Amino acid sequence: MKHLELHILQSFPVTCLNRDDLGSPKTAIFGGVQRARVSSQCWKSVVRLMAREYSPELFRGKRTKLVVEPITQGLIKRGFKEEEIAEALKDISGKIGEIDKKAATKLSTLLFTTDQEIDLICDTYAKNRNVKDLDKIFKEDHYNIMKDAADIALFGRMVASSPELKIEGAAVFSHALSTHKADNEIDYFTAVDDEQEEDITGAGHIGTLEFNSATYYRFCAVNMDELSDDKHLGVMSKEERKEVLASFIRSVLLAVPIARRNSMNGNTLPGYVLCVVREKGHPVQLINAFEKPITQYKDSGIFDRSKDAMLTEYDNLEKNWGMTAALKAAIPDISLDKLIEKATAYVD
Amino acid sequence: MSIKYLALRLRGWLQSWGTHGTQYNRDTGFFPTKSAIAGLCASALGIGRGSPGEPGFLEQFNRLKMDVLRKRKPHPRWEGETIDINLLSDYHTVRDTKKAGGGSKDCHPYTCFFLTDADFGVILEGEEDFLNRVGDALRDPKWILYFGRKCCLPSGPVYQGVYTTREEAEREFTEAGAGIMTQRDTEEFTEGNDNIFDVPLSFARADRRYAKRRVYTGPYK
C-alpha cells in the first residue's frame, strides 16, 4: 500500500482542547505515567471543516439533517407534484434515515452527504418511482457521488439504515498524546460584578476550570492507493486529487480544536513536521519514542528533546525493520508549500 | 503440506479488542480476539465484510490455531521493573441518534474502552501456503492496519515472520522471561480453562455470527 504519514510535534500553552464528561482535559496512561490526550475525532472535525475552506469545490460533503428541502426541490425540478412528493419522501427516507416526527423538514439523524448524491437519489426515484435500486447503484456506480466529496472519501461514513452507503475512510488519525508526563491543573477564577456598590466586597461569581499544557505528538496517515481507487476519488482528475491532498495536509497541520478558544486561545502551529511517503508496508507511528516520558535536561526543553527522540525512533525503525521511505521531508527544513508540493507528487 | 508458524506483533500505545456490545459500552478484552485477528488479516488481503471472498478466507483462517502472548513492557525509568497494561475509558457523545422504538434522541453518551501499554505477540499455526499468503499481505497490506479501532495504529511492523517451530516463533516474546500471560487454543477440553465465543463465521453486517473455542488463559508455561 502506498501511504503518506505525517508525524507532528506541537506545543500548547494553557489549554483544554478536548474534555471528558467531568470537564477535565482528557488524559491517558502511557509508559506507566499520565499524559495529556486529545481524541482523534476531536481533531478530525476541525480538519474537515478547514479543508472545506481551502477547497470548497472538492470538499462538498456536509453532515446535516436538512436534506428534505433539497430532495423536495429536486423532485419538483423533475416534474413531481406535491402529493407525489410526500410519497416519494416516505420511500426515500427508508434508505437515508427516518424523517423527524416533530419537524418534517429534517431527518432524525445526521447524514453525511453531498449535492450530487441528492441528485442521484432524485434521478433514481424519477426513473423507477422507488429507490430500491439505490444500494445497487451505489455499489456499481459509487464513484458518481465522489466527484465533490473528498471529505467523505478521506474521513469515511456510516449510514445505519443502508450498509451499502458505508464508505471506509482513506485517512486515519491517532489520538494526540503528550510526549511527557502531564498533570491537569485547576484554575480558580472570580468574576467581579461591575454594577456592585463600592462598599460591598466579594465576587459576583467564582468557579474553577481545569487545563493543562503539553507538547503533543500527533499522527495521521493516508492510504494513497485507496484514495484514488474506484470507491473513493477515482472519478476525479489527478490534478483534483492533488488539490485534495494539498488541502488535507494543510488543514491537518493548521487546524486546532476550538474548545476554550476565547478564554485560553491555544492557537499554535506545529513546531516540527515529518512527512513520509512509502511505496509498500503500512503506516507506523513513532509514539514509542516517547514511551519513556521526555523531561527537560540542561538547556534543552521538552520540545527539542521530543524532536530528537522522534528522529532516533525513525532511524531505529528504518534500520531494524528496513522501512525505507520514498519521501522524507520535514518542516522547518523546508516550507509548508514545498512540503505539500513534494508530497502531492506521489498522488496517482 | 507442512505446518508453519506465522508470528505477528501488536505494538501500539492504544488498542481495543471488543468482545461484545457496540452501543453504550464499547468494551475491550485483555487479549485480542480471534475475530479481531481474522479481521486484521482479511483487511491486509483486502477482503471486505460480507464480500464474496470472505467465506473461503474464514474457512481457512478458522482452521488455524491461535496463540496470544502478552508481554509486560519494561518500565521506562526503573531498570529491571516492568509495567502492566492499563484500561483507558474515553467518554463520547453522539448527537441525534435513533431509538429502537423509533424517534430520535438528542444526545447519546457512550464510553469506549482501550488498552494502553499493551504489547502482544500472536502466533498462528497452520498450513504453510495459507500462512505465506497472509504473511505477504501483512507486509504490504491493501488497507491500513489498526488494532480494533481506527485510531489504534501500530507503532511497529505487524509482520514478524513465518517459522518452522513454535519455539522460534515465540522467541521474541518468551526471551523476556517472567510476567508473560497467554491465551491459546487448546486441542483437548481439559487443557483449557475458558470458552470464548469469538470464532468468526460471518462478518456480514446483517448476518454476524460467531462460534465457540476452548482456550487456556493464564501465565505462560
Smallest CA–CA separation between B213 and chain A, in Å? 29
Which residues of chain A have a CB within 8 Å of the CB of B13? 28, 30, 177, 287-288, 291
Which residues of chain A have a CB within 8 Å of the CB of B145? 282-283
Average pLDDT, chain B: 90
B137 touching A, CB under 8 A? no
Residue of A nearest to B109 (CA): A21
**Cα–Cα distance between B61 and A178 in angstroms, integer?**
39
B163-210 pLDDT, tens digit per residue, is 999 999 998 888 766 688 999 999 999 999 999 999 999 998 778 899
Q: What is the pTM of this model?
A: 0.90
A115-162 pLDDT, tens digit per residue, is 888 888 888 888 888 888 777 777 666 666 777 889 999 999 877 667
Q: Which of A105-109, A169-173, A230-234, A249-253 shows the lowest mean pLDDT across its residues? A: A105-109
Chain B stretch 51-70, residues whose beta carbon is closer than 8 A to a beta carbon of chain A: none
Asked if residue B21 has pLDDT above 90, the reply is no
Are A42 and A216 in contact, with CB atoms under 8 Å apart? no
What does the pLDDT average to over A166-175?
93
Which positions ≥6 away from A318 have C-beta within 8 Å? A324, A325
Q: Which of A9-13, A67-71, A294-298, B72-76 shows the lowest mean pLDDT across its residues? A: B72-76
**Cα–Cα distance between A155 and A251 in angstroms, integer?**
13
Burial class (CB in 10 A: 0-12, 13-18, 19+), A81: exposed
Closest partner residue to B150 (CB to CB) among A33, A172, A317 is: A172
Asked if residue A24 has pLDDT above 70, the reply is yes
Nearest to B113 by CA among B28, B17, B33, B29: B28
Which residues of chain B have a CB within 8 Å of the CB of A29? 86, 88, 116-117
Here the cell at position A327 is 519521501
- Asked whether the beta carbons of residue B14 and residue A175 sit closer than 8 angstroms, the reply is yes
Residue of B nearest to A291 (CA): B76
- Asked whether the beta carbons of residue B153 and residue A101 sit closer than 8 angstroms, the reply is no
